[in-house]
Structure 1
Amino acid sequence: MRAASDLAATALAAVRPEQLTAPTPCGDYDVRALVDHLAWAALLSQRSATGMPLEQDGSSLRPAPFLDGVPVEQWAAAVPVELDTAADAWADRAAWEGETLLGTTPMPAGVVGPLMLAEFAVHGWDLARAIGAGYDVPAGLGEAVLAAVEPLAPMGRDGGWYGAAVPVPADAPAFDRALGLAGRDPGWRA
């Protein structure tokens, strides 16, 4: 979780205000919407790691609560602190055991943790691609993301949070295969 949140934070640190309206590989999100989505994901992840509900609606047109009142040009700089807090919360081994909540829905923590790890890594990649920033995924993190995405991909497609699978060679790096399963073309460029 720490590696995924740190990697997403590097992409966020590279966002410039003039890039906020740039398209991303993530469906209908531009950079601004993707930054806000990562903000909500950080908050959701923090709550899930501690078994606390998140009753606010991340699909609303309102930004994540910690961004409320912050100029949109400063959002990307505000999110890494929240990603760091989420990684700290998941560092506790107990966070990965038993039941937790995803929003207000009870789920096994062993499912939610990998889901949040993939959320940070994949959306960090989306953001990096959109702004032309580097995004070097270590092999171990790529394997962890692939292991998280593989069992979730059918549910993700059914739920609309993953697009149709993109064919990726079987010998491609694990992270590229995870991207393909999540409906991303690893070769996508802005």
Structure 2
Amino acid sequence: MTETSSLPPAVRAAAELAASALTAVRAEQLTTPTPCGDFDVRALVDHLAWGALLSQRAATRLALEHDWSSNRPAPFLDGLDPAEWPAAIIPELDAAADAWADPAAWEGETLMGTTPMPAEVVGPLMLAEFVLHGWDLARAVGAPYDVPAEVGEATLAAVRPVAEMGRDGGWYGPEVAVPVDAPAFERALGLSGRDPAWAATAGRGAARG
């Protein structure tokens, strides 16, 4: 089990990984397919924006009502050209990492959107959200994405207990077989319905969450 004291730095590293992928997005790539279900790059960038906002709210015990099937962009993207979205999201990821840096954020109960959940469960899920979607985006745009071993372990620890629920709920695709001795992050990818070997020319994957 991942030690709670190691999670705030892991969230920071996860946010930085997602930010590195966002930095690599070019305007002409916004319609490029991603490993993430029906999301193209534009939709995935917006999903990351909502994820950053959801993470901030969860760390500070605030509800977030949002229809995840809607095409409405995150409020802080309102009025911006989609080509400007990636740069606008990076400070929000940093703010989420700041919020989870407070040890109190990991204690007691919080809200995942509008659903009460233990903070010690929500925090790792937010970490995985950043790392996995950062990988989706990096793969789609052809950017490097090097996940530190400890972040991979934290991501696997977050995904493993919710993988079946995620598949039932449609936010993870069918499990992709990955060797048992593969790095932790590759095993997390497989559990979440992602093929570690996915490339933009290979087509769409099934994962969404």
Partner of 2:89: 79
Partner of 2:119: 109
- 3-state SS in 2 of match to 1:70: coil
Instruction: Structure 1 unaligned segments of length 5 or more: list them.
Output: none
Contact 1:45 1:116 in 2 (8 A): yes
Partner of 1:125: 135
Q: Which runs of 4+ in 1 moved over 6 A?
A: none
Total equivalences in the alignment: 190
Q: Distance in 2 between matches of 1:113 and 1:59?
A: 23
Q: How does 1:89-108 map to 2 (within 5 A)?
A: 89-108=99-118
TM-score (norm 1): 0.99
Q: Distance in 1 between matches of 2:86 and 2:60?
A: 24
How far the C-alpha of 1:21 sits from its partner, in A, is 0.2
Instruction: Structure 2 unaligned segments of length 5 or more: list them.
Output: 1-10, 201-209
How far the C-alpha of 1:56 sits from its partner, in A, is 3.4
How far the C-alpha of 1:106 sits from its partner, in A, is 0.6
> Is 1:178 the equivalent of 2:188?
yes
Partner of 1:145: 155
* Amino-acid identity (%): 75
Query: Which region of structure 1 is more displaced relative to structure 2, 41-50 or 55-64?
Result: 55-64
Q: Distance in 1 between matches of 2:180 and 2:48?
A: 29
TM-score (norm 2): 0.90
Contact 1:34 1:127 in 2 (8 A): yes
Q: CA RMSD in A?
A: 0.7
Q: Distance in 1 between matches of 2:76 and 2:166?
A: 27
> Is 1:154 the equivalent of 2:164?
yes
Contact 1:170 1:177 in 2 (8 A): yes
Q: Distance in 2 between matches of 1:56 and 1:128?
A: 26
Contact 1:45 1:86 in 2 (8 A): yes
How far the C-alpha of 1:58 sits from its partner, in A, is 3.8
Q: Distance in 2 between matches of 1:46 and 1:118?
A: 14
